[in-house]
Amino acid sequence: MSRKINKKGVYSLFLITLLFLSMTGIASIAAKKGPYVDEVIIEARTSRETAIGEVGMGDFDLFFYASGGTIYDGLPEDIREGLNLIPSSAVYDDFFLNPCTGEDGSPVVEYEGVEWFNVTGDREIRFAFNFLMNRQYMIDQMYGGYALPMYSAIMECEPAAPEFQSVYAELGLTPTGDEQKGLSMINERMEYWANQLGGKLKKVDAADSPAGYWWYFNDEPVTFRAMIRIEDERHEMGLYICDQLEKAGIKCIRNEWDRVRAFSASYFIDPATAPPNHWNLYTDGWISMSAWKFVEGSVTQMYAPWYGWMPGLGESTWWNYSQDELDKLTKKALNGMCLNEQDYWDTLREAVKLSIQESVRVFCLTELSYYPVNKRVSGIAYDVGSGLGSRWVFQTAQTPDNKLKALQYSSVGSLFMGAFNPIDGLEDVYANYLYRPVRDYATWSHPGEGVPISVRTTFDVEKKFHFEGEDLIGELDVPSDCVVYDSAANEWVEVGSGKKAVSKVTYDYLFSNWHNGMPMTMEDIKYCIAHVYEWSYEDEEGECNGNVRDVR
């Protein structure tokens, strides 16, 4: 999550030049180099308190889960004495809202012959969530003060945060929100649709409603179905926002479920699905695995429909959220089409403003949390933002016996939320805690500065281009014998003469042996590039594209 995990596509050359190497392979580069530890043991725990206690007592060395300061405040002194706490400001939460509309753009959706009213299908009602919730209340009451308000996909503790303060001020966003304004906005839009729908939507007096009435559509209560995660503070956040919404006369169904059930019932379902199986809200959670100075990837992942991580997921048979202007802005920033740094930040500010107004994801807060590490461990190069989210943990940790015993949190007892599969798995942070240390990157971010540093490559960059209107025109000559992979023909083909490029990157790879002793060659690089092309284009019906996400 940019600082987040990098995604599919051929838009960034270094993504398609990644090599995969086990830690044993890394150590074999030279006998005196590589990780200090020779063995890593990882187990799962279903209780955060239990895991922290085991680390404090020395049964394990570290716990790959950052918890708020309140959980440490209540620890027995003998456990506290055994811990070093690694700070992290990389965990953050949002309310993921279902924006599905009918064919006419109204919140009235028809699904398999059933007509239903989708409250969050109205853009202004979604935007009202920014005022309906009191972020400072949630920070104080649910996180014991260990959190910061968050208004967009950019965390307030990031280097880029000052670039977006003017956007929040323009939109009137504050830590405390404005409950009455939020309720007024929702009621105004519900009244508007009641007038538009000719009696199909109406208020019905009810003694059990905080508003004194419930909204009804086609003589059935309008229901707001929330998928509320139970593992952490998102449980209280979900219950809170439902209580707030019921003040507007909208009956809420609170599904208090574990991560697998809640995640699947919101993300992996057609947003048009009618009651009782519909969804309106999911208590989203994310983690930044590394600090990055520039944030175009974050904005794109969290907001842009083209990227494929918005409601509908790009599934052709489902209803899909679309926003052409957001697609245009994020592609411009992500594909390096900005004239200069000022144009870059202006483009992202415009994208963020529009995204907040759309409010498909309404960001709530950034957690201030800590990873527990036993005091026998030293030398860890932890990330300035994500703490143990850094890929350098296994490579730099030192223990007296050269063994590292780690724990990972799982409310259901399994290590991962999906398949441990680099092709179309690794969709959760739990898998990436283990995958990133054993994957060799061309470059990765500096743990303190957030700028790219070399891992398996050094490189030189050359650029030469101009704009004609909105079109980016390259001025670098491309040699005619350069090759590109043709995914339809399944072969490398020469580009031919007369081609121009915007940029040229010359890589110098550091090769060694794979974990099985086989030497690396340029054929490995070509395979990685070809694979990305294969998964980026649907040349045959039924082929699919791969995504990797940092959900938690």
pLDDT band at 68 (very low <50, low <70, confident <90, very high): confident
CA 203 from centroid of its chain's CA atoms: 38
The DSSP code for 57 is T
- pLDDT at residue 552, rounded to an integer: 59
Q: Is position 141 within any domain?
A: no
Residue type, 96: F
Query: Could you list the residue range(s) of the whole structural domain that residue 219 is in?
Result: 96-132+156-358
Residue type, 100: C
The DSSP code for 173 is -
pLDDT band at 543 (very low <50, low <70, confident <90, very high): low
What is the token pair recorded at 203? 């208020």
Q: Is position 278 within any domain?
A: yes
Q: Is position 376 within any domain?
A: no
Q: Is position 164 within any domain?
A: yes
Q: Is position 522 within any domain?
A: no
Where would I find the beta strands (DSSP E) of 417-524? 439-440, 443-445, 452-454, 457-463, 465-468, 471-474, 476-477, 483-486, 491-494, 500-501, 503-509
The DSSP code for 494 is E
Is the preceding peptide bond at 276 cis, omega within 30 degrees of 0? yes
Tell me the per-residue pLDDT of 178-223, one tens digit each, with 9 for 90 and over.
999 999 999 999 999 999 999 999 999 999 999 999 999 999 999 9
Report CA dihedral (302, 421, 17, 303) to the nearest 10 degrees: -10
pLDDT at 399 over 50: yes
Of 83-87, 171-175, 287-291, least confident by mean pLDDT is 287-291
Whether the CB-CB separation of 97 and 359 falls below 8 Å is answered with: yes
Nearest by Cα to 19 from 523, 460, 550: 523
Determine how many CB atoms are found less than 10 A away from the CB of residue 544: 10
Between the ranges 19-23, 441-445, 523-527, where is the mean pLDDT highest? 523-527
What is the token pair recorded at 521? 């060659």
Give the C-alpha separation, 359 to 126, whole Å. Answer: 5
Q: Is position 433 within any domain?
A: no
Give the C-alpha separation, 527 to 431, whole Å. Answer: 24
Q: Is position 65 within any domain?
A: no
Whether the CB-CB separation of 90 and 289 falls below 8 Å is answered with: yes
pLDDT band at 337 (very low <50, low <70, confident <90, very high): confident
Please report, in angstroms and rounded to a whole number, the separation of the first and last CA atoms in the chain.
11
CATH code for the domain of 270: 3.10.105.10
Tokens 């599905």, located at residue: 100
- pLDDT at residue 550, rounded to an integer: 53
pLDDT band at 25 (very low <50, low <70, confident <90, very high): very low
Whether the CB-CB separation of 92 and 363 falls below 8 Å is answered with: yes
What is the tally of structural domains in the chain?
A: 1
pLDDT at 431 over 50: yes
Q: Is position 46 within any domain?
A: no
